[in-house]
Amino acid sequence: MVTVIVVGGPAGTGKTTQGLMLSKRYSCPFIEGDSLHPKANIDKMAQGIPLTDDDRWGWLKTLAQESSSKALEDPSHLAVVSCSMLKKVYREYIKESSVSAEVEFRFVFLYTSFEELMSRVENRVGHYMKSDMVKSQYDIMEIPTGKELLKNGGEAVIVDTSGKTPEVIFKKIVSDLSLPAVDEDKEPDS
């Protein structure tokens, strides 16, 4: 099975942290989805202008193709990518944009309260996503439910990150994903 794990949620939920921890656990490549944004999107967000769906389609396609290619090429047959994937339609589009029907996508959706997101983002240094952009992400966020959930035959797991350490969040993700690790005894670096 060739699998891409997409770690998503609004800014400030820990996508990069969890993505890196997962890539270490599964000994596979990690792709920082933000690095795939075209310059026009980054410039727009840096000015505090929320992206539209039209701004996102090209980025989501690139992200799906890059991550599915990496998973196909890597000996682990896995890749991890971070991506906000805030709407169900974005998750569907990512699946449709894979370079191969052989690739299965698993979505890890991280979320927390608006207040906690604001606090986390306001304390970040050197990131183009400013706290005034968090509201636009929070407002369009569609947390996977029902048939989208892995436990109901879908592809998504959800984790409320409120007040939890990265290690606790990571253990919940690994448990819910139920993917075999390269080395079951391997723990993430603290």
Task: Please report whether residue 189 resides in a domain.
Answer: no
Task: Please report whether residue 186 resides in a domain.
Answer: no
At a CB cut-off of 8 Å and minimum separation 6, what does 62 contact? Answer: 36
Tokens 């505090």 correspond to what residue?
A: 48
Task: Please report whether residue 75 resides in a domain.
Answer: yes
Domain with 168, as residue range(s), is 2-177
Task: Please report whether residue 84 resides in a domain.
Answer: yes
Task: Please report whether residue 173 resides in a domain.
Answer: yes
Q: Residue 99 sits in a domain of what CATH number?
A: 3.40.50.300
**pLDDT per residue as tens, the chain (190 positions):** 899 999 999 888 889 999 999 999 999 999 999 899 999 998 988 887 888 999 999 999 999 999 999 999 999 999 999 998 999 999 999 999 999 999 999 999 999 988 888 776 766 555 445 556 777 888 899 999 999 999 999 999 999 999 899 999 999 999 999 887 665 444 444 4
Q: Using the 8-state DSSP alphabet, how is residue 131 labeled?
A: H
Task: Please report whether residue 183 resides in a domain.
Answer: no
In the chain, the number of structural domains is 1
Identify whether the C-beta of residue 109 lies closer than 8 Å to the C-beta of residue 8.
yes
At a CB cut-off of 8 Å and minimum separation 6, what does 172 contact? Answer: 159, 164
- How many CA atoms lie within 13 Å of 94's alpha carbon, on the beta-carbon side? 32
Task: Please report whether residue 190 resides in a domain.
Answer: no
